[in-house]
Amino acid sequence: MAFELPPLPYAYDALEPFIDTMTMQVHHDKHHAAYVTNLNKALAPHADLSKKTVEELISHLDTLPQDIQTAVRNNGGGHFNHSLFWQMMKKGGGKPSGDLAKAIDSGFGSLSGFQTKMTEAATKVFGSGWAWLLVRDGKLVIESSPNQDSAIMKGLAPGAVLLGLDVWEHAYYLKYQNRRPDYIAAWFNVVNWDFVAERFSRA
Ligand code: MN3
């Protein structure tokens, strides 16, 4: 079974004015689609790997045939990250509630303290990459990764990935050009906190 591009869980214009329609179209239909296509291409000669999930593949990169490790890292990582990313956003966003809100307050002082730290991590990514909210050793932590790397490539459980912010230029350049900080500030308006809370409760 080849991997497939999951449909966007809302309309292309749902995140306006924070994330523009054209960016969503190109990001989902072209960039994410290309990760899926290239992942399938890399796996095609390896029928024995066809039953694995993308999480299984990228959690054990060093067990894969050496000639496809880089392709699976980049494109499997891209597929895993973006499949989550679309669900991590929604129109209207909202606020963290319940146990997640408590954990954010105790970990970062407040929601605004969290936003400051997340903004710092996302701003500091040099070139292409992501900022992440993760559960590590039972605590909320903010980290960043280059390219399409994920913490699950280094042993973190997939469910411990709570929230991710894509700071590749393709995620914002059409609307924000070089103003990554403006994109980051806008993105907080569309964070799907219900989705994050649900992942947190299971992590
Ligand atoms: Mn992207």
Alpha carbon separation from 46 to 42, 50, 52, 144 (Å, rounded) = 8, 7, 11, 31
Predicted confidence (pLDDT) per residue in 61-83, tens digit: 999 999 999 999 999 999 999 99
42 C-alpha to center of ligand 1: Å?
A: 20
Closest by CA to 80, choosing from 187, 166, 184, 203, is 166
169 C-alpha to center of ligand 1: Å?
A: 8
202 C-alpha to center of ligand 1: Å?
A: 26
38 C-alpha to center of ligand 1: Å?
A: 15
72 C-alpha to center of ligand 1: Å?
A: 16
147 C-alpha to center of ligand 1: Å?
A: 9
110 C-alpha to center of ligand 1: Å?
A: 28
Average pLDDT for the chain:
97
User: Given a cut of 80, is residue 135 above it in pLDDT?
Assistant: yes
Domains of the chain with bracketed CATH: 21-87 (1.10.287.990), 98-202 (3.55.40.20)
pLDDT score, position 1:
65
106 C-alpha to center of ligand 1: Å?
A: 30
| Structural tokens at position 163 | 């929230």
28 C-alpha to center of ligand 1: Å?
A: 8
62 C-alpha to center of ligand 1: Å?
A: 24
74 C-alpha to center of ligand 1: Å?
A: 12
pLDDT score, position 50:
83
User: Given a cut of 90, is residue 31 above it in pLDDT?
Assistant: yes
Predicted confidence (pLDDT) per residue in 105-134, tens digit: 999 999 999 999 999 999 999 999 999 999
Q: Which residues contact 140 (CB under 8 A, 6 or more apart)?
A: 103, 104, 107, 108, 133, 134, 162
Q: What is the DSSP letter of 161?
A: E
pLDDT score, position 35:
98
69 C-alpha to center of ligand 1: Å?
A: 20
46 C-alpha to center of ligand 1: Å?
A: 27
132 C-alpha to center of ligand 1: Å?
A: 14
Give the global pTM: 0.97
60 C-alpha to center of ligand 1: Å?
A: 22
